[in-house]
Structure 1
Amino acid sequence: MVLPFKHEPFTDFSNENKRREFEEGLRKVKEELGKDYPIVINGERFFTNDKLVSINPANKKEVIGHVSKATKEHIDKAFESSLEAFKLWGKMAPVARADILFKAAAIVRRRKHEFSAWLAFEAGKPWGQADGDTAEGIDFLEYYGRQMLDLVNGKPLEDRANEHNSYFYQPMGPGVTIPPWNFAFAIVCGTTVAPIVAGNPVLLKPSENTPVIAYKLVEVLEEAGLPKGVLNFVPGDPAVIGDYLVDHKETRFINFTGSRATGTRIIERASKVQDGQQHLKRVVAEMGGKDTIIVDKDADLDLAADAIVNSAFGFSGQKCSACSRAVLHKDVYHEVLEKAVRLTKELTVGNPTEKDVNMGAVVNKKQFEKVKEYIEIGKREGELVLGGETDDSEGFFVKPTIFKDVAPKARLMQEEIFGPVVAFAKADNFDELLEIANNTEYGLTGAVISNNREHLEKARYDFHVGNLYFNRGCTAAIVGYQPFGGFKMSGTDSKAGGPDYLQHFLEAKVVSERY
């Protein structure tokens, strides 16, 4: 009997014992920094001279690890390994596949603070954000294992006289997972183990920013008993192996999370049939957002300010669900803005591997320069109220930044920044609030802070996002509670962490037998 799914609890860092446990995790990981990490194909380790160099974004001099880069020849070898492994893995009992995920969840749970410490070092995550990332990875392991067991018997069909019909699911074959750096354990874990538990071998190409934590997942799954060849770890330069992975004739699916530009490129390339290809490739893509919190005139204004600040500046705004637009009714505009500024001034910025802070650094030099550029754009498009300071002398630090009086069609209100910058705009009535919220090409998350039930019900259907929240922030979706995925240019609305997700990596089959 499988127990019902329960969300992995977050660590209470106000508890001094928990703080000491996390600090011990940080010390343990610090002793491991700077090692070499291999490519993994069919359980074998391969080291190359060409390496990805992972660094701490809050301390540029601190090397997290050197990770071997895969070549096209490694990719071919990985596909050969996957095809061979599929012969057994695809026919293994789903309960046995799910059991490996449950064992992996238990391993990570025992080492939770260690994994969170890796996230603090490699992704620059503050303690609470790192803890949530690790907890979400555990949730994916537990939830997808249970979802696979729910699909074991397929779905019921009607029978006719002298005829029996069955409807069941079978795996597709090898596929590619290309996860992002911002949830360097949770999304890497979820996008990898979902197709695996469904019976498909996976080639995992981690982000070049956070490859070490991805390798740690590979180790956990191996320890849990995953057979050789089911998961092949192929880190590398996207310019060298990215298109090759997508184009390969043996790729059955591509599970991608990242930018709109890369996602649409993958969709376009995957649609082309290669020589020797005998199947249509499926693309599951989550591609970012430009997310809005609406504040109605009839609202809890303290709640509104808190929701905006936490959603905008959690993990330095480096979430596709982050609030980068606050659209307020004119009657409450100034009061909510003042409250948000006051809360933002209380945020601490620093190196999360040294102390517990609210915000760390942005992930790398490229992102740092991008955010700086948008701050300059914001100074031309609105009024800088708070922040705007940047410092890359030691790490890539950007202070939480607020702009006010920004026009709805300004670049600051339309383009994804992926940094700690939020723009405030005002509207005359709820219809205009909703119109502004919907005026971007994205449709990932959004929130409405209002005590007007009529307005909430209007937003329920007319606010065009995949994940909509009432009277709370627009981030922090929980596996099994808020399945995640967006509309429009935010992706294929795959609803990760939801009851339909595994079916993206399964083929439905009907068998009819006449008696």
Structure 2
Amino acid sequence: MVLQYSHEPFSNFKLDTNKKEFQESLSYVNTQLGKHYPLIINAERIETEEKTFSMNPANTKEVIGSISLANKELVEHAMQSASNAFESWKKWSLEHRANILFRAAAIMRRRKHEFSSYLVKEAGKPWNEADADTAEAIDFLEYYARQVIQLKDGIPVKSREGEYNQYNYVPLGVGIIISPFNFPLAIMAGTATAAIVTGNTILLKPADATPVIAAKFVEVMEEAGLPQGVLNYVPCRGSEVGDYLVEHPQTRFVTFTGSREVGCRIYEKAAKVQPGQKWLKRVIAEMGGKDTVAVDKDADLDLAASSIVSSAFGFSGQKCSAGSRVVIHQDVYDEVLNKAVALTKALTVGNPEEVSTYMGPVIHKDSYKKIMSFIELGKEEGRLVAGGEGDDSTGYFIQPTIFADVDENARLMQEEIFGPVVAFSKARDFDHMMEIANNTDYGLTGALLTKNREHIERAREEFHVGNLYFNRGCTGAIVGYQPFGGFNMSGTNSKAGGPDYLLLHMQAKTTSETF
């Protein structure tokens, strides 16, 4: 059987019909604000005294919802519920598990603009970015459902005369899913369902800033027929409960997307074998990047400029794949810089509920303060040529910012900012360009714009990143087309949306029968 796959198309908001439908969904979601979301453990709704509030980053006075927070006792209850559910869930056929994902994808597709509207309100995503996030979530569900069906008969191995050998995959156990704010639907749904469809049960800890969209997704999985205890929704304070989750002897694996600092801590904590633990835990980690857009002297300079701007400022630069450093051949440096500055100054920054907004706010106050401190640093390390201003009076808005003439070893060129700030650096030649591209601790994405075939082939070998793009920007990997995951301190190269991602959630079993 050949399984065809095509990705969920993005909505064209130039069409009045799509625009009207999205505006209607936004209006509906605006009537749903302020609701309370309890924990969901073993399908039971549990209210707690300790609560947190999800706020609109574009309007900090607007509450998206209140959320109950789990303590250690409730997390332990969730762990035991997931462990019990695993004993039956692991016995479900792969096709039956896949069908739940297919159904969930169909539900989300029917409610696509509604989910995107929650992303606008809770994450501050402009229309196009929100639409792409929802489309990617649908893609993950359908892709992993099809992928797992391909694994149902295992992998063929040889059998000698008088014996029959099989090589099959079995699930691991209980996993902890720790999802990020920047793709609060797509990455959260992808990491959760990859674990679930392979026969594992999970505790889902959503990002602190975006718990409502995760709660809405859990509701979809319940509607799709997921048995109780398989997916447990446990928002909690990572500082209080995070280590407990990671260190728990019944935790079999941890999937994390977030900062390098937290990812390294999880890796360290998970490596220690706890009393009563019978396995070595697996960690699937994606920990960010410091991604380079490189421009050769013979590149299409208009394409280069537009690729730089879209890579740097899409979703306010809050992507681990964002192009936050640009390396340009000295012969075309000034021309590309001027073109990029002109495009940047034309971008609209404001309320993401408006269809005309290109860039909304950054996610919260801590992020705003960090990014603004990098802008102050940039004024010392480079030449400010665009942006540089912020306004947190009503929301966390920062103008798209470009610094020119930054030294390749400056902090602005080395540290992940996770905001709408990009540094430009000059390269003497292609060798120097590759040297700068590889001089960070990260290795997630990169882009090279050039018409030189020899340089393209050299970059395939020399540009050390997990996702390398030619003659386009360095963001926008599509599930099933560009499996996503990086090298070095960007994480474990787990390749989400790729042909071997599901295997990370399973273990191989060989059986050999002699006749």
TM bin, normalised by shorter chain, reads over 0.9
Q: Tell me the residue number matched to 1:111.
A: 111
Cα distance, 1:354 vs structure 2 = 4.2
Question: In structure 1, what residue type is equivalent to 2:184?
Answer: A
Cα distance, 1:353 vs structure 2 = 2.1
Give the match's secondary structure for 1:490.
coil
Question: Are 1:47 and 2:47 an aligned pair?
Answer: yes
- Confirm or deny: 8 A CA contact 1:209 1:363 kept in the other structure: yes
CA distance in 2, matches of 1:2, 1:456: 33
Q: Tell me the residue number matched to 2:384.
A: 384
Question: Are 1:352 and 2:352 an aligned pair?
Answer: yes
Give the match's secondary structure for 2:352.
coil
CA distance in 2, matches of 1:436, 1:258: 25
Cα distance, 1:366 vs structure 2 = 0.1
Question: In structure 2, what residue type is equivalent to 1:308?
Answer: I
5 Å matches for 1:107-506? 107-506=107-506
Give the match's secondary structure for 2:191.
helix
Give the match's secondary structure for 2:206.
coil
CA distance in 1, matches of 2:180, 2:243: 16
- Confirm or deny: 8 A CA contact 1:2 1:146 kept in the other structure: no
Could you report, residue by residue, the CA deviation over 1:21-79 in whole angstroms, capped at 9, with x for unpaired residues? 00011001000001110100000000112112100000000000000000111111111
Question: In structure 2, what residue type is equivalent to 1:24?
Answer: E
CA distance in 2, matches of 1:2, 1:73: 47
Using the TM superposition, name which of 218-227 and 348-357 deviates more. Answer: 348-357
Cα distance, 1:355 vs structure 2 = 4.3
Question: In structure 2, what residue type is equivalent to 1:400?
Answer: P
Question: In structure 1, what residue type is equivalent to 2:278?
Answer: Q
Question: In structure 1, what residue type is equivalent to 2:167?
Answer: Y
Could you report, residue by residue, the CA deviation over 1:444-499 in whole angstroms, capped at 9, with x for unpaired residues? 00000000000010000110000000000000000000000000000000000000
CA distance in 2, matches of 1:500, 1:96: 21
Could you report, residue by residue, the CA deviation over 1:162-185 in whole angstroms, capped at 9, with x for unpaired residues? 111100000011110001000010
Cα distance, 1:3 vs structure 2 = 5.2
Give the match's secondary structure for 1:252.
strand
CA distance in 2, matches of 1:23, 1:47: 33
**Ranges in structure 2 where 5+ consecutive residues have no aligned partner:** none
CA distance in 1, matches of 2:104, 2:356: 28
- Confirm or deny: 8 A CA contact 1:378 1:403 kept in the other structure: yes
- Confirm or deny: 8 A CA contact 1:208 1:235 kept in the other structure: yes
Using the TM superposition, name which of 405-414 and 157-166 deviates more. Answer: 157-166
Question: In structure 1, what residue type is equivalent to 2:309?
Answer: V
Could you report, residue by residue, the CA deviation over 1:252-287 in whole angstroms, capped at 9, with x for unpaired residues? 000000000000100000000111111110000000
Question: In structure 2, what residue type is equivalent to 1:484?
Answer: F
CA distance in 2, matches of 1:143, 1:100: 13
Using the TM superposition, name which of 367-376 and 78-87 deviates more. Answer: 78-87
Question: In structure 1, what residue type is equivalent to 2:437?
Answer: A
Question: What is the percentage of aligned positions where both structures have the same residue?
Answer: 63
**Ranges in structure 1 where 5+ consecutive residues have no aligned partner:** none
Could you report, residue by residue, the CA deviation over 1:179-231 in whole angstroms, capped at 9, with x for unpaired residues? 10000100000010001000000100001100000001100000000000000
Question: In structure 2, what residue type is equivalent to 1:83?
Answer: S
- Confirm or deny: 8 A CA contact 1:326 1:422 kept in the other structure: yes
CA distance in 1, matches of 2:116, 2:99: 24
Cα RMSD of the aligned pairs, angstroms, is 0.8
Question: In structure 1, what residue type is equivalent to 2:425?
Answer: A
Question: In structure 2, what residue type is equivalent to 1:234?
Answer: V
Cα distance, 1:356 vs structure 2 = 3.4
Question: In structure 2, what residue type is equivalent to 1:38?
Answer: P
Question: In structure 2, what residue type is equivalent to 1:356?
Answer: S
Q: Give me the TM-score of the superposition, normalised by structure 1.
A: 0.99
- Confirm or deny: 8 A CA contact 1:170 1:506 kept in the other structure: yes
- Confirm or deny: 8 A CA contact 1:360 1:397 kept in the other structure: yes
- Confirm or deny: 8 A CA contact 1:52 1:236 kept in the other structure: no
Could you report, residue by residue, the CA deviation over 1:374-431 in whole angstroms, capped at 9, with x for unpaired residues? 0000000000001001000000000000000000000000000000000000011000
CA distance in 2, matches of 1:65, 1:236: 15
Question: Are 1:4 and 2:4 an aligned pair?
Answer: yes
Question: Are 1:18 and 2:18 an aligned pair?
Answer: yes
Q: Tell me the residue number matched to 1:90.
A: 90
Using the TM superposition, name which of 338-347 and 349-358 deviates more. Answer: 349-358
5 Å matches for 1:28-39? 28-39=28-39
Question: In structure 1, what residue type is equivalent to 2:388?
Answer: G
Number of residue pairs aligned between Structure 1 and Structure 2 = 515
Cα distance, 1:5 vs structure 2 = 1.4
CA distance in 2, matches of 1:305, 1:95: 46
CA distance in 2, matches of 1:383, 1:354: 32
Give the match's secondary structure for 1:298.
coil
